[in-house]
Amino acid sequence: MATQMKKTKLATAVATAVVGLGLSAAANAVVVVGGDNGWEVSFDGNINAFYVQGNNDAGFNGLGLVAPNSPSPVPNSGGHSTFAGNAVDTSRVTSGFLPAFFSFNVKSPTVNGMTGTARFSFAPQITNGNTKNQLYAADPIGLNGNNGIQGSSIDMREVLVNLSGGFGTVSFGRTLSIFGRNAILKDMTLFGVGVSNQQGAAVTAGRIGRGYTYPNFNARFSYKTPNFGGLQAEFGIFDPSIDQLNTNAALGLLDQTQIPRFEGEVSYTATFSGGSVQGWVDGLYQEIKNSARTSEDHVVVGGVGFGAEGKFNNFALTGYYYTGNGLGRALQFAGGTACNASVVPVGGTTGNVGIGGSCEATDDDGYYVQGTYTFSGKTKLGLSYGESRERAFSDSTLRLSGLSELQARDVTLSMWTVGVYHDVNSWLKVIAEYSKLNNDYGSNVITGASAASTKSDTFSVGSFFFW
């Protein structure tokens, strides 16, 4: 066997890290080991670390998933109120929006016009829980820490096979889901921090919930067409999901997924002298049923997104808009669906039967816009703004049936970010970011709670090492 060491430009190294978020290819790996029979094995990865300083209002939550304390009126606040409790300032050394990656790739010989590639991608992060010696496990969405020594963890992000040829690409395994994927990969905070992780361990949140919803890594089968003059499409069936936050059996569980989730994307890319333009449409559809009900026993979670990116010389402009039902305001399938409590016990059993109650999905939408300019091919300056909105459940019984106060309000999460991303050389990148975040909560006409808002300022500096 022969070992080939490749030195790549930083753009290639950056592409390698993006590969770890779901675009599986190994062509730019640093080390490639080949054999006489045509098989190749390669490795790639990164390590990053950031110093993060945050100033947070009382009750502020980065993803907007946890209800703050009950608000109380504040004089001269323009009719708004702030949340009770203390403001919290944080100083952390953490991973950024991306964890570290170590990826192992295998490429087959081409046989009858078809080539197979496989990828295993491990994603450790350096972040401790905010304790010297952590003695507890994580909660379901990792808000209070992760397993491992002092809270650090390792995530198996990709286990994936691609079969490619003139027919396109058939893929199976686990990788980043399609709906919202391009919005993340084009977000400049991908190589920064964005929303900080406050006191809990894990990676930061970038722009999640403030311009797009996070799709997560998921098991699926997919098919991608060949590239027809810049036009390409990808469609897949995915392991379906239930709502992660609304799992109270007394409210009627949305607990059945009888058909897979469907996701897809159609994109078009064109190049011209000095630049390029790309546009895409992505979408998601899934049904979730309630095994305890006899009528109105399901909800539909669906969404569609529209994105575009234009590049000319050193300028780049990116925009994305999405709309849907039941998506959740930040993490997909987290808090966007629920059932009311109009159920009665079944005699002699532990089940429930519906008596005219309803299940509901929220209305969700959001967008972000981003502009960047790159100086001398090495230093990128960027400015972006985005927000995500979720309308509270409209059914009055549902809003009084045990859901959190937060889920009975309209919520808007927004963020301004300015960042500088400098390529020191072909394998080292340094970053500085400032983000201003705002969580706005509408009034609850059912309970009488008034509107309120919480704010946060986050400053971060850090570095990536690529191979």
d(C-alpha 373, C-alpha 463), whole Å: 20
Do the beta carbons of residue 60 and residue 439 sit within 8 Å? yes
Residue 347, number of CB atoms within 10 A of its CB: 5
pLDDT reported for residue 409? 77
Please say whether the beta carbons of 245 and 335 come within 8 A.
yes
Greatest Cα pair distance, the chain, in angstroms, is 78
Q: Quick one: pLDDT at residue 75?
A: 41
Spatial contact of 107 and 42, defined as CB atoms under 8 Å apart: yes
Domains in the chain with CATH codes: 46-95+178-466 (2.40.160)
Residue 73 in 3-state DSSP?
strand
Q: Is 283 helix (H, G, I), strand (E, B) or coil?
A: strand
Q: How distant, in Å, are the alpha carbons of 128, 172, 223 from that of 119?
A: 28, 11, 17
Question: 294 - beta bridge partners?
Answer: none
What is the DSSP annotation of 388-408? EEEPPP--HHHHTTT--GGGG
Collapsing DSSP to helix, strand or coil, 364 comes out as: strand
Residue corresponding to tokens 């002699």: 348
**388 close to 412: Cβ distance less than 8 angstroms:** yes
Using CA atoms, how far apart are residues 13 and 427, in angstroms rounded to an integer? Answer: 7
Task: Select from 390, 285, 337 the least CA-distant residue to 63.
Answer: 390
- What pLDDT sits at residue 202? 76
- Rounded Cα gap, residues 261 and 241, in angstroms: 8
Residues with Cβ < 8 Å from 183, sequence gap 6 or more? 211, 212, 305, 307, 320, 322, 368
Cα(first)–Cα(last) distance of the chain, in Å? 21
According to the model, what pLDDT value does residue 33 have? 82
Q: Residue 238 and residue 235: Cα distance in Å, rounded?
A: 10
Question: What pLDDT is stored for residue 449 in this prediction?
Answer: 67
Nearest residue to 295 (alpha-carbon basis) of 343, 240, 337, 247: 343
DSSP character at residue 451: P
Amino acid 343: pLDDT: 46
Residue-level pLDDT, tens digit, the chain, 467 residues: 444 434 333 444 344 444 444 444 334 556 678 777 889 999 999 999 999 999 988 878 888 876 555 444 444 444 444 455 667 788 889 999 999 999 999 999 999 999 999 999 999 988 877 766 655 555 444 444 455 555 667 788 999 999 999 999 999 999 999 999 999 999 999 999 999 876 666 789 999 999 999 999 999 999 999 999 999 999 999 999 988 776 555 555 677 898 999 999 999 999 999 999 999 999 999 999 877 665 557 889 999 999 999 999 999 999 999 999 999 989 999 888 887 755 444 444 444 444 445 778 889 999 999 999 999 989 999 999 999 999 877 765 565 555 555 566 789 999 999 999 999 998 999 999 999 999 998 876 666 667 788 899 999 999 999 99
Look up residue 284 and give its amino acid. L
Q: Bin 405: left if φ > 0, else alpha if -120 < ψ < 50, else beta.
A: alpha
Q: Which of 454, 462, 461 is nearest to 62 (CA)?
A: 454
Per the rule left: phi > 0, alpha: psi between -120 and 50, beta: everything else, 18 is: alpha
Please give the Cα distance from 242 to 315 (Å, whole number). Answer: 41
Tokens of 205: 């949140």
Q: What are phi and psi of 396, to 5 degrees?
A: -65, -35
Token reading at 230 = 């810049």
Contact, 464 vs 17, CB < 8 A?
yes
Query: What percent of the residues of the chain are helix, what percent strand, and what percent coil, each to the nearest 5?
Result: 5, 50, 40
CA 51 to chain centre: 22
pTM of structure = 0.85
Query: Can you spell out the DSSP letters for 193-257?
Result: -BB--TTS-S---BTBTTTB-B--EEEEEEEE---BTTEEEEEEEE-----SS---GGG----B-
Query: Residue 243: its pLDDT value, please?
Result: 83
The predicted pLDDT at position 407 comes to 62
Is 224 in contact with 168 (CB distance < 8 Å)?
yes
What pLDDT score was predicted for residue 79?
Answer: 41
Exposed/middle/buried for residue 280 (C-beta within 10 Å: 0-12, 13-18, 19+): buried
